[in-house]
Amino acid sequence: MKVPLSCGAWALGFCLTFGIASFLRAAEDDALLKDARSIFAALPANFATAQRPITPALVELGRALFFDPRMSIDSTTSCARCHQPSLYGTDALAKSHGNHDRLNARNAPTVINAALQVKQHWTGNREDVEDQATKALTGPASFGNPNFDVPMARLKAIAGYQPMFKAAFPNDPNPITPENWGKAIGAYERTLVSRSRFDEFLGGKLDALSADERQGLRTFITTGCVACHNGIGVGGGEFKKFGVVEDYWKLTGSQDIDEGRALDTKKVEDKSLFKVPTLRNVAMTGPYFHDGSVASLEAAVRIAAKAQLGQTLGDNEVHDIVAFLGSLTGPLPENFATAPVLPAER
Amino acid sequence: MKVPLSCGAWALGFCLTFGIASFLRAAEDDALLKDARSIFAALPANFATAQRPITPALVELGRALFFDPRMSIDSTTSCARCHQPSLYGTDALAKSHGNHDRLNARNAPTVINAALQVKQHWTGNREDVEDQATKALTGPASFGNPNFDVPMARLKAIAGYQPMFKAAFPNDPNPITPENWGKAIGAYERTLVSRSRFDEFLGGKLDALSADERQGLRTFITTGCVACHNGIGVGGGEFKKFGVVEDYWKLTGSQDIDEGRALDTKKVEDKSLFKVPTLRNVAMTGPYFHDGSVASLEAAVRIAAKAQLGQTLGDNEVHDIVAFLGSLTGPLPENFATAPVLPAER
C-alpha cells in the first residue's frame, strides 16, 4: 500500500502530538492524585475506636433500635423517620418533623459516614453518634420524651429486646439504659460506611474518576473549597463561620437567621459557626445547608464559593465540581438498606 | 442375654401401645390436613390478575413510589410511613398518623399478602390495592393533598422518575397520572407475598407444623373460627359484623364505637360490618382489630371467640390457637425488606 508522504508526515505529527498530550495528561493526573492524597483520605472499613468499640451483637441491637418508633413519645418516630434508607439517610425535607409533627431547628444530615465527624449536629452540641442517639430520646422535636424513664419502660416491656441487650452487654446486669441505647445505635452507625469511586481514586486507580470528575477535583482544590472540605469526610472535621465573605441568608434566601454554634456556647465568636458538612454522598442528600434552604447542588456550590471564598464560579467550574461531588456517592450500606425485623410486642 | 418374661411382655405392650398411638396420631394428622385443605389454600407466587398484570418495570417503579414521602402534602408521608418493613408492613400504632400528624380513623393493616383480599380498607371502601394507593394521595389523614395536581406536579419535577414511568407504561405518552401511580404501587404490592410454614403444611408436609400448632389448627377449626377466617388469606374474603354475639366495644375497651361499613354504604344492615382480617403474619402485626384497641394476640383470640362465636376459650385452647397463628408468620419479602434508592431531586 502506498501512503502519500504528506499523509505519513501528518500521521507522525498526530502521533507525536497525541502521545505528548497523553503523557502530559498522565503526568497531570499523577500530580492530581498526589495533591488529593495530601488533602483527603480514603474511608476505613468502619468507624470503631478504642473508646467506642463495636461487636456484632451491639451492632445488631443498634440496628433494631434505629428502626423502632415505639420508644418515641407518640410512637411515630424512630431514627429512621428522619434518616430513611431510601433517601440515603435523610428525609429530603428542609427541616425534619419529629414526634407530634414538631419541626426540628435544622436539616437532618445523613447517618451514612456520619460517625467520622469531629462532633455531631450542625452546631456540634453532641459529642459523637452515641451521645446524639441518647439525647434524641428526650429531644423535644425528635423522640419527645419528658425523661428517660418513659422510653426505658417501653423498651423493657418488649420482651424480644431483653436477650438482645443481654448479648450486646454481657457484663451488665441491667443493660437497658439510655447510655446503652446510645452505645448500641452508635455502634450500628459506626458500621454505616459507604466507600465511593473517589476512595478508589485515592487508592491509586486514576480512571475511577472520569475526565470531568478529575477536572472538578482540580477546580475543587484550586478554588479553595478544600480549605474546609478536606480529610476523610471531605468535610465534617471543623466548625467555620457560614458567610465569611457574604451573609449566607442573602445568598440562600433563608427565612430565619440562625446564630449557629453561639446558641449552644453563648460565645459571641461562635456566631454563625456551623460544622463544615461532609460532602460524601452529597448528590443524594439534598436539600442543602443547615436549614435546607437550597434545593439544587449546583446552586449550593455557587453559594458556598461566594459566601465562603468570595468567588463567582463559571458554569463550567460548577459543572465540573458537581461532577466531582457525584463521585463521592457510594452504595447504600447493606445493613442500612435491609430492614431488620423488630421484636413484636406481647 | 436373659430378659425376664414380665419385662418382655411390658416391652411388647409398650411397643404395641406406642405403635397404635403413633398410627392413630398419623391418621389424625392426615385427617387434619384433609380438613385444612378443604378450608384454606396455599399462597400463590404473586397476586397478579388478568386485569391487574405486573411487569418488572411496573414493580420497580411502584417500589420506589411506595417509599417516597415527597408526594404527600408536607413531604413526610410515604406508604412506608404506616407500612414499615421492620414492623411487618404496619406501624405498631393503634391508629396511624399521616401528614401533619393527622390521625387515621382505623388501624393500618399490613401490606404483606394484602392484595389477596376481596376489597381494601377495613370497611372495603377501596376496590383493590391500586384503588387504595391512588386515593391515598388525597386522603385527608394519609397524603393529604387537596387534589391530584399537587402530587403529580411534584412527581414530574423529580427527573429520575420520568424514565421509570416511561419503562413501566411504554405505550402511554403521558404516563405520570394518579391512575398509573396506583397501578405501579399496586403491582408492587401484588409481589409482597410471604409464604409460611402453614403453606408447607397445606402442601403435604405434616411436620411443618409442631404438635402444638397442629392442635391449635384443630381447635381453630372445631371452635368455628374458620367460619370467617378461611381461604388463601385465613380471612380477608368477606365482611362480617364485629360483635355477632356480644358488642365488641364491651370486650375490647374501644373508646369510640365505629359503625364500620355503614359509614360508607349508608345502609343500616352494614352497621358494625368490617372486613374479616387476614390472619397471615398476625403474630407480627399487633395491635389488633380495626381500632388497634387490643395489644396482645392472646387477648384478641379470646375476644374474637367471645364476640363472634359466644365461646369462652380455656387457656390451653388459647395457647394452641396462638401457636397455630404463629405458623402463619412468613419471612419478610425481599423486595420489601430491601430499600430502593429513590431518585434525588435536581
One DSSP character per residue, A95-114 reads S-B-GGGPBPSS----STTG
pLDDT averaged over every residue in chain A:
95
Q: What is the pLDDT of residue A1?
A: 46
Report yes or no: B68 at the A interface, CB cutoff 8 Å. Answer: yes
CA distance B331 to B337: 10
Cis check for the bond before A287: say yes or no (omega within 30 of 0): yes
Report yes or no: B103 at the A interface, CB cutoff 8 Å. Answer: no
The answer to whether the beta carbons of residues A68 and B86 sit under 8 Å apart is yes
Give the count of beta carbons closer than 10 Å to the beta carbon of residue B314: 11
CA distance B263 to A236: 55
pLDDT one-digit tens code per residue, A107-157: 999 999 999 999 999 999 999 999 999 999 999 999 999 999 999 999 999
The answer to whether the beta carbons of residues B300 and B294 sit under 8 Å apart is yes
Report yes or no: B21 at the A interface, CB cutoff 8 Å. Answer: no
pLDDT one-digit tens code per residue, B255-280: 889 999 999 999 999 999 999 999 99
CA-closest candidate to residue B66, choices A159, A339, A303, A28: A339
CA-closest candidate to residue B66, choices B112, B100, B102: B112
The reply to whether residue B338 touches residue A338, judged by beta carbons under 8 angstroms, is: yes
For residue A174 the three cell numbers come to: 441491667
The answer to whether the beta carbons of residues A274 and A240 sit under 8 Å apart is yes
For residue B165 the three cell numbers come to: 414511568
The reply to whether residue A345 touches residue B67, judged by beta carbons under 8 angstroms, is: no
Report yes or no: B93 at the A interface, CB cutoff 8 Å. Answer: yes
CA distance A239 to A232: 16
pTM for the whole thing?
A: 0.93
ipTM at complex level: 0.92
A341 contact residues in B (CB cutoff 8 A): 86, 88, 284, 332
CA distance B244 to B340: 44
For residue B221 the three cell numbers come to: 377449626
CA distance B184 to B169: 9
Query: Which of A76, A154, A332 best tests the B interface by mutation, with the highest count of B CBs <10 A?
Result: A76
For residue B81 the three cell numbers come to: 410511613
Sequence-distant (6+) residues with CB within 8 A of A86 are: B64, B67, B68, B80, B339, B340, B341, B342
pLDDT at B199 over 50: yes
Long-range contacts of B78-82, Cβ-Cβ distance < 8 Å, separation of 24 or more: B79/B111, B79/B133, B79/B136, B79/B185, B80/A86, B82/B108, B82/B142
Give the count of beta carbons closer than 10 Å to the beta carbon of residue B203: 12
The answer to whether the beta carbons of residues A235 and A228 sit under 8 Å apart is yes
Reduced to 3 states, what is the DSSP secondary structure of residue B85? helix
Lowest mean pLDDT among A165-174, A329-338, B8-17, B182-191: B8-17
The whole-number average pLDDT for the span B200-227 is: 98
Look-up: residue for cell 387477648?
Answer: B299
Give the count of beta carbons closer than 10 Å to the beta carbon of residue A233: 23
Q: What is the pLDDT of residue A20?
A: 82
The answer to whether the beta carbons of residues A340 and A63 sit under 8 Å apart is yes
Report yes or no: B287 at the A interface, CB cutoff 8 Å. Answer: yes
The whole-number average pLDDT for the span B85-90 is: 98
Q: What is the pLDDT of residue A23?
A: 83
**CB interface of A with B, residues 252-281, below 8 Å:** none
CA distance B151 to B343: 16
- Burial, A94: exposed, middle or buried (Cβ in 10 Å; 0-12, 13-18, 19+)? buried
pLDDT at B101 over 70: yes
Minimal CA separation from A342 to chain B, in Å: 6
CA distance B190 to B133: 12
CA Rg value for chain A? 24
CA distance B96 to B74: 16
CA distance A222 to B289: 64
Minimal CA separation from B273 to chain A, in Å: 27
The reply to whether residue B97 touches residue A74, judged by beta carbons under 8 angstroms, is: yes
Report H helices in A40-160: 56-66, 79-82, 129-136, 149-157
Report yes or no: B75 at the A interface, CB cutoff 8 Å. Answer: yes
Helix (H) or strand (E) holding A239: strand A239-241
Q: A334: nearest CA in chain B?
A: B338
Minimal CA separation from A143 to chain B, in Å: 14
Minimal CA separation from A97 to chain B, in Å: 7
Max Cα-Cα span within chain B:
92
Sequence-distant (6+) residues with CB within 8 A of B99 are: B72, B73, B74, B76, B77, B141, B142, B143, B144
CA distance A106 to A89: 15
Q: What is the pLDDT of residue A256?
A: 87
CA distance A283 to B34: 58
Report H helices in chain A: 5-39, 56-66, 79-82, 129-136, 149-157, 161-168, 178-189, 197-202, 211-223, 248-252, 262-265, 297-309, 315-326, 334-337
CA distance B156 to B73: 15
Q: What is the pLDDT of residue A22?
A: 82
- The sign of the torsion formed by the CA atoms of B276, B279, B284, B287 equals positive
pLDDT at B20 over 90: no
pLDDT confidence of B23, banded at 50, 70, 90?
Answer: confident
The answer to whether the beta carbons of residues B128 and B115 sit under 8 Å apart is yes
CA distance B42 to B281: 14
DSSP 8-state symbol, A231 = B
Give me the residue from B101, B284, B340 closest to A100, CB to CB: B101
pLDDT one-digit tens code per residue, A193-232: 999 999 999 999 999 999 999 999 999 999 999 999 999 9
Give the count of beta carbons closer than 10 Å to the beta carbon of residue B24: 10
pLDDT at B1 over 50: no
pLDDT averaged over every residue in chain B:
95
Minimal CA separation from B75 to chain A, in Å: 7
A295 contact residues in B (CB cutoff 8 A): 345
CA distance A332 to A279: 15
pLDDT at B3 over 60: no
